[in-house]
Amino acid sequence: MRHFDTSPFYGLSLSERRFGDLLRNKKREDYVLSSKVGRLLTPSAEPLENSWHWADHSPFHYKYDYSASGTRRSIEDTLHRIGVASLDIVYIHDLSPQNSDMGDDWLKYFDQAVKGAIPELTKMRDEGIIKGWGFGVNTPHAIYKALDMSDPDICLLALQYSILDHKQALDKTFPMLDKRGVSAVIGAPLNGGFLAGRNRFNYSPKIPGPMQQKFNAISDIASKHGIDIKTAALQFAEAPSTVSSIIPGARTAEQIKANVASMKVTIPSEFWSELKSKQLIAENAPIPT
């Protein structure tokens, strides 16, 4: 594994500082590093009330800022926290109506990004501070709007392509990205842990009935073919040609080892044929070869 994805938001700087501890003695050319912009961190003596259950997070608050100056400052802060001279990829983060902080105001922030973050990231790409930029979002609204007015290199699609839920990505998002030569990184290919056995779906404790039914049906077929649904889900998410990488978001060393092992399993073609014949995955879904 040589692709590491972080963000100022994760642990309110804690993730980036941990990556610095990991990567500071590694050769820069030996790994791909991505982080994000959109939130500026500010120090505070008062803990943030909604800390997203991050353990031991840093004593910071944040404010949204997709301006040019805010974007450059965010990247400079990230470089200092990690201790590197450049980033490979920078994602404009969480510009989505699904972001509960924003709701309908996401369009206001999108307009700010159009005038600020997008041209600034393009400029920083030309300067060599970053190699590429795109959007890191849980819904594709911002990507659809931005493709007509800018030239992103890569997008992080979280919660948008999994063995359980992939129709919109296959029918609309991937073709739009392919047309413009933009690749995709798939975040949360296990639906926030659900496909690995956690009792939650896309970071919510409420599991939609149809998703549970599909999970049960695919699991039964997987067992019949001697594999498990998590292995099938990871390989399924990486199969499309649009996809350059998947980031399952492992929390422990054991999960990382299990994910690596899953990618080495040979899945019989009959398994995928049965899923398609029973309409559990889309007929046009690419499958591992």
How far from the centroid of its chain's Cα atoms is residue 168's Cα? Answer: 16
Give which of 258, 253, 249 is closest to 10, Cα–Cα.
Answer: 249
Bridge partners of residue 12, in order along the sequence: none
Q: Is 36 a catalytic residue?
A: yes
| Contact present, 141 and 106 (Cβ < 8 Å) | yes
Q: Please give the Cα distance from 158 to 155 (Å, whole number).
A: 9
Task: List Cβ neighbours of 274 (8 Å cut-off, separation of 6 or more).
Answer: 221, 225
Token look-up 């019949």 returns 224
Q: Is 10 a catalytic residue?
A: yes
**152 SS3 class:** coil
Give which of 150, 156, 131 is closest to 249, Cα–Cα.
Answer: 156
Which of 36, 88, 94, 153 does the annotation list as catalytic?
36
Which of 5, 65, 94, 153 does the annotation list as catalytic?
5
Kindly give the pairing relationship between strand 39-43 and strand 60-64: antiparallel
Q: Is 228 a catalytic residue?
A: no
Q: Please give the Cα distance from 45 to 1 (Å, whole number).
A: 37
Catalytically annotated residues: 5, 10, 36
